[in-house]
């Protein structure tokens, strides 16, 4: 009984390490941190994909993108942050204001107010008239 359990455990361990039977998503998951670091460094997805293909991973670019999407989605659900934001700096340069003495800032429009105005404008537009005018202008 103990030997059978040990044999099964050994067989499953071999399966987990055999890339021939593992899904491409599982294989990419093993390399995920390196892939993300390369992407963050400016290496294109197509170059990374080509390197993986050159090293023996049989995967299309579409499936590579899908695998990255699935891995990112599962990590987001798990609440894992692999690339944390840098901490705020307390340097003097950051704490200085960009305004010289006596200068004033013109307040920017409230984004929500702007969106509300845009929504109202879209809802109140006579689209049939706009389309007719555009069709007349083409003729």
| Total-model pTM | 0.47
What is the C-alpha to C-alpha distance for residues 35 and 123, in angstroms, rounded to an integer?
Answer: 45
Q: How sure is the predictor about 72, in pLDDT bands with cuts at 50, 70 and 90?
A: very high
Query: Exposed, middle or buried by CB within 10 Å (0-12, 13-18, 19+), for 53?
Result: middle
Is 32 in contact with 12 (CB distance < 8 Å)?
no
pLDDT over 50 at 45, yes or no:
yes
* Cα angle, residue 14 at apex, residues 10 and 15 outer, rounded to 5°: 120
CA of residue 105 relative to chain centroid, distance: 35
Q: Rounded to a whole number, what is the largest CA-CA distance in the chain?
A: 87
């Amino acid at each position: 009984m103990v030997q059978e359990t040990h044999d099964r455990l050994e067989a499953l361990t071999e399966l987990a390490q055999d890339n021939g039977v593992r899904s491409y998503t599982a294989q990419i998951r093993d390399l995920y941190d390196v892939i993300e670091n390369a992407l963050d460094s400016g290496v294109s997805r197509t170059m990374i994909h080509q390197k993986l293909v050159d090293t023996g991973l049989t995967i299309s670019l579409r499936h590579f993108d899908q695998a990255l999407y699935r891995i990112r989605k599962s990590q987001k659900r798990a609440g894992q942050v692999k690339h944390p934001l840098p901490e705020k700096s307390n340097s003097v340069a950051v704490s200085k204001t960009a305004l010289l003495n006596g200068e004033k800032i013109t307040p920017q429009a409230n984004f929500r107010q702007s969106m509300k105005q845009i929504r109202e404008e879209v809802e109140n537009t006579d689209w049939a008239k706009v389309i007719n005018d555009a069709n007349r202008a083409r003729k």
